[in-house]
Structure 1
Amino acid sequence: MPSSSIHLFFFFLLFFSSFIFTFSLAADRCNPNDKKVLLQIKESFNNPYLLASWNPKTDCCGWYQLECDEITNRVTALTIFGGEISGQIPPYVGDLPYLKTLIFRKLSNLTGHIQPAIAKLKNLTMIRLSWTNLSGSVPDFLATLPNLDYLDLSFNDLTGSIPPSLAKLTKLNALHLDRNRLTGSIPEAYGQFKGSVPDLYLSHNRLTGRIPKSLGDLDLDLDLIELQRNMLVGDASFLFRNSSRSTFRIDISRNFLEFDLSGAIFPENLGALDISHNRIYGNIPSQITALGNLQGFNASYNRLCGKIPQGGRMGRFDYSSFFHNRCLCGTPLPNNCTSG
């Protein structure tokens, strides 16, 4: 082979090798520090099949259940959902400084306490640690995450009281603490959120005491109040004092609440109301017939009396929404109302 051909061959070989190397670097856009942390997380879970795509030879921005920022190439979302994952949330999650979304969900073998290293992730906007076997308390350090707007710790085995400090989260839009074993009272501070008022999901716990009266004074953007299946007592009539509030759903069923419903003023936007299985007395206000969005209503198992209001959307609710009361009468109940 002539020397010129040899030189040309080696030139193309060098060019091709450089091209492959450059393409390889471009393809692997994931930040090397983030990649290292992710592989540590995988190893701490004993390299489960669910994370099989987390191959050190490939770009981590293309791994399953991950998202990277297109400009910085830093990992911004870590989602581990379903499948067989055993162990505890590893401390390495705190070493992903650009993380905005952290989700560990439907992992029945995920145990231990909520990882304290999460407090390092100041860019987090969403935490969803739900449907696992996490135990321990709801940690105060969650209140130090300034950008958090969605916190879901539902369907776990959390115990202890609800920390008042979460009311300091000025951007929080939803707080899910339901389906745990939380005890104590609802903090008074939850009626004094510093920023937007989050939807409150506190049901299916072991909460006791009275509902804070400050909840009745929350701003108009409170959409959902779910306090059912606890052991709350006392007066909750202050939740029904303002027709202009935007609250769409109120569920305070299966508690030990005791108050007169007669003077209630329901929010105009109310779509679902469940006050069943309490000790509520008085009558059902006729204003309820003016609620054009009402899709669900249940007042059964109380101590209500008087005629069931007719009209509006009330005709869509059957016997089961009203039975087992002291002296309610009229359609759809079989007993007619008699005067005097």
Structure 2
Amino acid sequence: MAPNLKLSCLLFSLIFFISIAISVEQLCNPADKKVLLNIKKAFNNPYVLSSWDPKQDCCTWYSVACHPTTHRVISLIILADDKISGQIPPEVGDLSFLQTLMLHKLPNLNGPIQPTIANLSHLKSLDLSWNNLSGSLPSFLGSLKNLTLLNLSFNNLTGTIPSSLSQLPNLGSLHLDRNKLTGQIPDSFGLEGGAWMLFGANKTTQIVDLSRNLLEFNLSEVVFPRSLTTLDLNHNKIFGSIPVAMTELTFQLNVSYNRLCGQIPVGGRLQSFDLSSYFNLHNKCLLILLYIISTAQNRWPTFTIYICSKQT
């Protein structure tokens, strides 16, 4: 091979590999990388984020995922680390293309839900569960119109459920359990003490977990969407009776440890259930069970259950 040809091949190879190196380095959006490094600094540079090296492409960092074509950061998932402490950094709100934000099982993550999260207009999944967050449930969550999942369970959130949550048209799964939420569901949604804002015939929500709070509303006035598959209201102060219309629905229901009275309806699609879903503590309820065995279609036994409780 002629010397000039060898030199040309060498130069071509060198340029090729340099271009690849440059393109890899530039995959991560510089603005996103800067935000992530600020988040790492705010969390006191924990070991779990040790892969966040400013010399490396941030799309390859642990807990980070980027869009395959735009290379903007679309997912930030940090799990189970007791070395991460302090509040949610406000810089989180600067990841403007974020679709998934999960800060889960960080026992030393405290303070309020960061207001800058309201800037994440593309957010579809927000999971801040199993932390030590406090303060009220912020109304700005209602501005996240693309949310399909909201999980704030296992925190120390207080106050009432804001009416703005009714403005989440795509919300399919809502988990507010294991907090200290109080009061009624806002009555501005048509029924005093009702729960129009979370339920309602036109909603598309599939999973709702409000268990182990201090909520008070009349269950008998609630209209449930046919899309609902799971409803957990246990350990609250909910009163009234279970609507007859529930017999037309097919979902898992737990209303134990509340202040319900009246008959549990059966029929339609509600042919069997777990009795533990209707238990009530504190000696405030008397359960009278009338077992009616149905053998005509070889089904499970159906039950007529009357629940009486003392109102306090």
**Which among 8, 18, 31 is matched to residue 15 of structure 2?**
18
* Higher relative contact order, chain-length normalized (CA < 8 Å, sep 6+): 2
TM-score by length of 1: 0.76
The aligned residue for residue 237 of structure 1 is: 242
Provide the secondary structure at the position in 1 that maps to 2:128. strand
Which residue in the other structure is 2:269 paired with?
Answer: 268
CA spacing shift, 1:226–1:242, aligned 2, 3 Å: closer
Alpha-carbon distance in 2 for matches of 1:193, 1:244: 13
Distance 1:15 1:93 in 2: 42
Partner of 2:212: 204
Residue 241 of structure 1: SS of its match in structure 2?
A: helix
Gaps of 5+ in 1: 280-299, 327-340
The residue number in structure 1 matching 2:76 is 78
CA contact (8 A) 1:174 1:198 kept: yes
Q: Answer whether contact 1:130 1:153 (CA < 8 A) is retained.
A: yes
Secondary structure, counterpart of 1:110 in structure 2: strand
Which whole-Å CA distance do the structure 2 matches of 1:95 and 1:51 have between them?
19
The amino acid across from 1:82 in the alignment is A
Count the aligned residue pairs.
289
- Identity of matched residues, %: 40
Q: Is the 8 A contact 1:168 1:194 kept in 2?
A: no
Amino acid of the structure 2 residue aligned with 1:310: I
Where structure 2 has 5 or more consecutive residues not aligned to the other structure, the ranges are: 187-193
| Contact 2:166–2:198, Cα closer than 8 Å, also in 1 | yes
Cα deviations by residue, 1:184-219 (Å, 9 ceiling, x for unpaired): 123432233764134210001112343361x2x232
Deviation digits for residues 24-57 of structure 1 (CA, Å, limit 9, x no counterpart): 1222311111111111111111110010111111
The answer as to whether partners of 2:160 and 2:184 remain within 8 angstroms in 1 is yes
Measured in 2, the distance between the counterparts of 1:55 and 1:276 equals 53
Deviations 1:143-195 (A, max 9, x none): 00111110000000101111121011110001100000111123432233764
Which structure has the greater CA radius of gyration? 1
Range moving further from structure 2, 301-310 or 143-152:
301-310
Partners of 1:82 and 1:106 within 8 A in 2: yes
Over the aligned positions, Cα root-mean-square deviation in angstroms equals: 2.9
The answer (yes or no) to whether the contact 2:210–2:233 under 8 Å persists in 1 is: yes
Amino acid at match of 2:211: S
Deviation at 1:266, TM superposition (A): 4.8
Task: Say whether the 8 Å CA contact 1:186–1:212 is kept in structure 2.
Answer: no
Alignment of 1:132-143 (within 5 A): 132-143=131-142
Write the distance in 1 (CA, Å) between the matches of 2:62 and 2:179.
30
Paired letter, 2:34: K
Using the TM superposition, give the Cα deviation of residue 268 of structure 1 relative to its aligned residue in structure 2, in angstroms. 1.1
